[in-house]
Chains A and B, each alone.
Chain A
Amino acid sequence: MENDNPTILHFKFDVSTFRLLGRELITDRITALFELVKNCYDANAENVQLTFENLNPLCPESRIIIEDNGLGMSFEDIRDKWMVIGTSSKRRNRTSPAPYNRVVAGKKGVGRFAVDKLGGKLVMKTKKKGSPVWHCLETDWTKYAEEEKHQLELDFENSSEQQKLFTDFDNKYWTEPAEVEVQGTRLEISGLNDAWLEKDIIRAYRELSKIVKPSSNSKYPFNIRFKVPEYVEYNDKTVESIVLAEATLSFALKYRKDEKTGMFYQEYLVENKGALEIKEKEAELFGPIGFTLYYYDKAGKKKFTKDDRIDGIKVYRDGIIATPFAEYKSSRDEQKDLFGIDKRRWSGFFEKLSTRDILGWVDITDELNPEIKDSTNRQDFVDNKEWNALKDFVINQIRQIELYLKHKKDSKKKENAEKLKSADKDIDDIKQRISNIKSQSLLVSPEIDSELNDIANKLETIKETVSASSKDYEQMEADRRQQENIMFSLVSLQAYAGQISHILRISIGIIKRSAEFVAKWIPLRQKTEKSVMHARKIFDEMNNLSKAMDFMLSYAEDDSTFEFFSVKEAVAELFEDRYKLLFEEETIQADYVLDDDFELSYNKKAFQDMFGNLIDNSVKALRNTKDKRIRCTVFRENGNLVLLFSDNGPGVPNEIRDRIFDVFYTTTADLGGAGLGLYIVRTRLNSIKGTISLEPNEFKPTGATFKITIPLIH
């Protein structure tokens, strides 16, 4: 019955535009395959089979067949949808038909372009349930390519040959008999563009294994099966979701909606004294998300056949992976680290996790996270506030796990040290028992006695060794801490030097060009006013440089090594000694609150200078306030030392809140402000992984409150 009713169908679009679009949208073969499989998903298919035949070397029999048992198409669908580019029905319906209600994955309707990326010729067979026939369509781009080449060679102006504006190529349509109950679509692509090597199949397999989340519900499964006779390992192989071998740690953070208020609440992880707790807070501006995170230690990683299956955190939108799609890079270094997990500073320095240690996914939905959008090149997300907030959230969650692991490691160390110490006692205990045995003289023969003496002597030797080891261990720990401190101080100096040289370079540039200006125009007796202005600027800028230099010197003079010092003492010195007179002169009521004392490993003078800066700012801010107040509160929070510093001055106007930490940003130029203070506080803090931020004012009705956090490393 084949070919008994051949008809000719025409595409209703310009073929060259079609191909151009296709090439831009689908950048590589794996992405193409990915898009076609997504189409199967959208069509409610439960099973997809990918057959690769005669892949290498290419021959007329080379083909890729994609078969699914999805909804299929009617003749009208083919004529009015498949053949008409740009009127994707998918855009109108955001979910696939019930009962699957899958959120449509192939949003941009690019599946049809994908075929072109794989090969020049397509035979499609498709049918809906109830139809007695398969609808078959053959499209042959290879013919088109010849014509395209011919047309490109034509001379623009002097050609007698008529150019074709629209290319009317014949697409053969016919039907074949079928069982009524069967449904599905079969795409047979031949005229392949490239040979497929085993590594390409591996890539395809690996990328497709990411398409549906491992925990996706199985009521309406989505199975992908590979058939590759040439590569035995992938022949008759079902694509398994990324293997979740027993992870060392795993978390599933959810969200909930308060039915009364309609508010969303987000679960998040927080490390608290060696325990990881799940807490809840109002959803952030990117909207509520699900976040599943697996951490693998060395033993956990061994369960993966190849550890590169552990590759960081991905984003799934409505159950299907969002960007970066199937972008595969043979070199791991080029692989996209969406959240910047590996880019974090001091990587590997303070127990940072990398994308090779964690595997996870962020679940977003179109409905609840509308601002997390794919960028137009489909390689990333649109860089907006929401996406940045989401990145911060994810990084912070990883940080909590790092803190937890660090705590665990530290307590393990402590435990070992304890055991070593108690070994000493155990030996004494054994010795005591031996002498007990010896004292029961009836039981002890001279041979046994001598044997026991020997054991006792050996035990004594062991005891000495154990006690020496215990001391060594303690010494080693002390050395290690010392080394860490030196490294830490070096790293922080390095970062600080980098930032200071940024300031210097800008300042020097300004001075240089102003001097150049004066030298050029004064002799010409032109631009006199401006010359005077620039001469003055040289002076002002030089003053700024001196100030920057003072800050650098405070590092150099007061030796840059870190020391343990009491925060309470350091703050008391400032309030009761260094600034006492100034507070009295300015009639400022200044007090500080410290419930507990903390030991901080840092440069004490640098620490006090930071406060000096904040105090100077407050004194200036308070100049027109009546009952002047300054307060400093110190407490511990999540392994950080937190300092709240407040005054009851006029506060920081909203419009400049984001700018006050910028270099050279000042509102008190009239009082000699150079705009360096807060910038330097911030850079210094950043260099020791601390932060400074402007918080809601403690004093009412007006005031400013700064919050400083410094990690308590040891």
Chain B
Amino acid sequence: MEEKMGVTIVYIDDDKKMKNDAFLDDIEDAVDDIKFFENPSDGLTFIKDNIDKDIVVLLDWKFNNSLMQGDKILNDINEISTLVPVIVFTGASIDATETNKMFKGCAFSCVPKDTSTKELTDTIRKAYDRIQNDIRFVMEKWILKQDVEKRSQPYMRSGDKIYTLNDILASIRKQDEFGKETTRGILRLATELFTNNMREK
């Protein structure tokens, strides 16, 4: 038995038949929770309200009779946080324009709808691994572990601006200039510490 993944799967698909897909029945014990949303807006609201949880999104790409298509939803998720891995799950044939939209929206992966449960589970596990190992996720998790009160107090200064942990969290999630700079800084620092240790030995 593989290790259980501490994630919530958010599956957004307007084909409600997919709610009973065997894949979901198969993976239900291997993850924390599965949420299925027929309506993209409800899915987005859920992600926004549960942003402090580890989430992997499974996203249909072509929505019937909806103003919101996959690319728009992908962008909206990025607006909430760029740290949520989104796996596009689609039955449509994907041409270069569509692929470009996915890359631009930093989709984690794209899986065709006729895939096997095994392949889909493997992709979700890869997304989960990224959540576990990527420095940005580690920083996010560390900040979320801190006291709520402590998070809103000034924590560091960069240039002319003073940042609280909440500011830093928002910047990391948005991956704005400061967010990127901070991530780079921490990586450099970690490498520095690591090599220092080697020298001392």
Contact call B65/A659, Cβ cutoff below 8 A: yes
Q: Let me know if B199 is at the binding interface, CB within 8 A.
A: no
Q: Identify the interface centre among B20, B160, B161: most chain A CB within 10 Å of its CB.
A: B160
Contact call A16/B160, Cβ cutoff below 8 A: yes
Q: A502-B92, A517-B25 are in contact. Are A385 and B67 (CB under 8 A)?
A: yes
List chain B residues, Cβ under 8 A from A513.
21-23, 26, 116-117, 120
**Per a CB cutoff under 8 Å, which of B25, B120, B159, B177 touches A530?**
B25
Q: Let me know if A506 is at the binding interface, CB within 8 A.
A: yes
* Complex-state Cα separation, A156 to B185, whole angstroms: 10
Contact call A505/B114, Cβ cutoff below 8 A: yes
Contact call A508/B114, Cβ cutoff below 8 A: yes
**Per a CB cutoff under 8 Å, which of B65, B156, B160 touches A14?**
B160
Q: A498-B93, A516-B117 are in contact. Are A156 and B156 (CB under 8 A)?
A: yes
Q: Let me know if A394 is at the binding interface, CB within 8 A.
A: no
**Per a CB cutoff under 8 Å, which of A164, A509, A534, A661 touches B91?**
A509
Q: Let me know if A9 is at the binding interface, CB within 8 A.
A: no
* Complex-state Cα separation, A16 to B159, whole angstroms: 8
Secondary structure at the B interface, as helix, strand, loop or mixed, is mixed
Q: Let me know if B196 is at the binding interface, CB within 8 A.
A: no
Q: Let me know if A163 is at the binding interface, CB within 8 A.
A: yes
* Complex-state Cα separation, A512 to B22, whole angstroms: 9
Q: Identify the interface centre among B22, B67, B91, B118: most chain A CB within 10 Å of its CB.
A: B22
Q: A510-B21, A516-B117 are in contact. Are A664 and B93 (CB under 8 A)?
A: no
Q: Let me know if B113 is at the binding interface, CB within 8 A.
A: yes
Contact call B177/A384, Cβ cutoff below 8 A: no
Instruction: Encode contact with B along A498-538: 1 for CB under 8 Å, 0 otherwise.
Output: 10011101101110111011001100000100100110010
Contact call B114/A534, Cβ cutoff below 8 A: no
List chain A residues, Cβ under 8 A from B160.
14-17, 151, 163-167
Nearest CB of chain B from residue A677's CB, rounded to whole Å: 15
List chain B residues, Cβ under 8 A from A516.
22, 26, 116-118
**Per a CB cutoff under 8 Å, which of A383, A501, A514 touches B72?**
A383
Q: Let me know if B54 is at the binding interface, CB within 8 A.
A: no
Contact call B91/A664, Cβ cutoff below 8 A: no
* Complex-state Cα separation, A509 to B158, whole angstroms: 51
**Per a CB cutoff under 8 Å, which of A151, A505, A527 touches B25?**
A527
Q: Let me know if A20 is at the binding interface, CB within 8 A.
A: yes
* Complex-state Cα separation, A534 to B15, whole angstroms: 17
* Complex-state Cα separation, A662 to B113, whole angstroms: 17
- A385 to chain B: closest residue by CB: B67
- B111 to chain A: closest residue by CB: A509
Nearest CB of chain B from residue A254's CB, rounded to whole Å: 29
Q: Let me know if A627 is at the binding interface, CB within 8 A.
A: no
List chain B residues, Cβ under 8 A from A663.
15, 64
Q: A505-B91, A662-B14 are in contact. Are A514 and B67 (CB under 8 A)?
A: no
Instruction: Encode contact with A along B107-142: 1 for CB under 8 Å, 0 otherwise.
Output: 000001111111010000000000000000000000
Q: Let me know if B145 is at the binding interface, CB within 8 A.
A: no
Contact call A388/B67, Cβ cutoff below 8 A: yes
Instruction: Encode contact with A along B62-77: 1 for CB under 8 Å, 0 otherwise.
Output: 1011010000100000
* Complex-state Cα separation, A706 to B62, whole angstroms: 25
B residues at A contact (CB < 8 Å)? 14-15, 17-18, 20-23, 25-26, 62, 64-65, 67, 72, 91-93, 112-118, 120, 156-162, 177, 185
A-B CB proximity, top 8 nearest: A517-B22, A509-B114, A513-B22, A662-B64, A506-B91, A514-B22, A509-B113, A505-B91
Return 11 A-B CB contacts under 8 Å, by A number.
A14-B160, A16-B161, A156-B185, A163-B157, A506-B113, A509-B91, A510-B17, A517-B23, A537-B22, A661-B65, A663-B15
A residues at B contact (CB < 8 Å)? 14-17, 20, 148, 151-152, 156, 163-167, 383-385, 388, 498, 501-503, 505-506, 508-510, 512-514, 516-517, 520-521, 527, 530, 533-534, 537, 658-659, 661-664
